[in-house]
Amino acid sequence: MNSLNARPFLLTAALLGLGFSAACQVELDAASAADAGVVEGSGSGDGRELCALVMTSDFSQTAALHTAHYRGGELKLSEPLTSVSTDAILRGNDHIVTVLNRYPAAYLQRIDPAAGFATVWERALPAGSNPSDIWIADDGRAVISLYGAGRPVAGGELMEVNLLAASEADWVIGRRSLAAWTEADGNPEASELIPFGGLLFVVLQHLDNYPGCSDGGRSALLALDAESLEPVGHFGGSATLTLAGCNAYAAALHADGRLMVALTGRYQWSGDRSNDGGVEAIDLAQGVSLGWLSREGAFGEGDITEVTAASDGSTLWVASSADFSGSIFRAASDGIVSGPLWSGSNLFDITAQGTALWVANRSSMSAAVVLLDGTGAELGRAIPPAPPIAFLPLEAAGLCP
């Protein structure tokens, strides 16, 4: 199974809900980090050892994969290992790593962790398909959700491929349209893929007018059989579950089958200050919503933009304000919220590894890979040559040099 990261990245700074001012901030991030190289990290003396793959990008010219190794109380980043596109998504496990490259071209890149994270092959995806997530089965079969930038993919699609196929000519198994589950605009905006209990759940954003929400429309979950990709009436006889809000922006799965969905609603950077978002909990085993875990209004003016699941059963998320500062909060399994545990600027990804937390801080003043413990205290930080945007925790610490 692939590790489920916090969210798929959208195609441009504007599509990320960052607007023009944040696009400028990305340039500042790049300028501040481009000349720095990999800077040795700091640490706190914590005794654990953690290993993760880190993607960095300035969303302009430079993007690469690094390893982040926390050992002996110090966090160190490797030099760039493999080049990737400047707009890409990182998914995989200790055996197969994939990069869904989105811009300037759509293609899948397979990385071999056992070979120093070298590129095995690159294979083209449909032009303009805007891939948004990939689920990797144990046998090398994989399913890719095609979001469709500018709607070139009719109704959105799932693309089934064989990552172990010897040649590009026979690696595509098939494609399945999702048009039957669209709303008014003809595209369901399929984003994240969540495997659980023999099913594959597809997050449907159901947006009509980006970055706003459709009038009266809400996001949904679609349940498919993981093998056949046929719809399953998992939600009280229906293949879909309508969520509590709109713009499902990120999702994180707990081991017990609780899926936490971050619903951003209308972006506050666009001037909307309504309390229309938050984190919703779904019991995937029972096929029912458990309701809102927390609403964004509890944290002032801000959107819930990241969510991840810790091994102790708690849920962590980022509430980002209109000026792109962000704070990390924690909700225990009983729903009691604590925080903010830690605050930064332009927090691009948070990914739990056990009870530790990898944070991609893209601040124009201090872009850094930050590792936190369960209380929000910094275990270490290091500065990469370009701002960090995503993490893939690796179980085998030996994969990090």
pLDDT value of position 37: 63
Q: Which residues contact 87 (CB under 8 A, 6 or more apart)?
A: 9, 11, 12, 57, 59, 101, 102, 103
Burial 211-220 (b: 16+ CB within 10 A, else e): bebbeebbbb
Q: Which of 95, 189, 193 is nearest to 135 (CA)?
A: 193
Q: From first to last of the 401 residues of the chain, give the pLDDT tens digit.
A: 333 333 333 333 323 333 323 333 333 333 333 444 676 677 666 679 999 999 999 998 899 999 999 999 999 999 999 999 999 999 999 999 999 999 888 999 999 999 999 999 999 998 888 899 999 999 999 999 998 754 445 668 999 999 999 999 999 999 999 989 988 777 888 999 999 999 999 999 988 765 567 666 799 999 999 999 999 999 999 999 999 999 999 999 999 999 999 998 887 767 777 788 899 999 999 999 999 999 888 877 678 889 999 999 999 999 888 777 899 999 998 888 999 999 998 899 999 999 999 999 988 778 999 999 999 999 999 999 999 999 999 999 999 98
Residue 184, pLDDT score: 75
Domains of the chain are 19-399 (2.130.10.10)
For 116-247, strand residue ranges (E) read 118-124, 131-136, 141-146, 157-162, 172-177, 190-196, 199-204, 220-225, 240-242
Structural contact between residues 206 and 249, judged by C-beta atoms closer than 8 angstroms = no
Q: Which residue, 265, 324, 323, is CA-closest to 297?
A: 265
Place of tokens 């909060």: 329
Question: What is the pairing mode between strands 172-177 and 278-283?
Answer: unpaired
pLDDT (0 to 100) of residue 16: 34
Distance of alpha carbon 188 from alpha carbon 153, whole angstroms? 11
CA dist., res. 108 & res. 271, Å (int): 37
- Looking at residue 344, its amino acid is G
Give per-residue burial for 300-327: e unless 16+ CB within 10 Å, then b.
eebbbbbbbbbeeebbbbbbbbbebebb
pLDDT attached to residue 40: 63
- Alpha helices (H) along 311-392: none
Using alpha carbons only, what angle is made at residue 192 by residues 98 and 183, rounded to the nearest 5 degrees?
140
CB-CB contact of 236 with 285 (8 Å):
no
Single-letter amino acid, residue 138: D
Structure tokens at 400: 């990090």
Q: What's the pLDDT at 18?
A: 32
Q: What is the pLDDT of residue 276?
A: 84
Residue type, 44: S
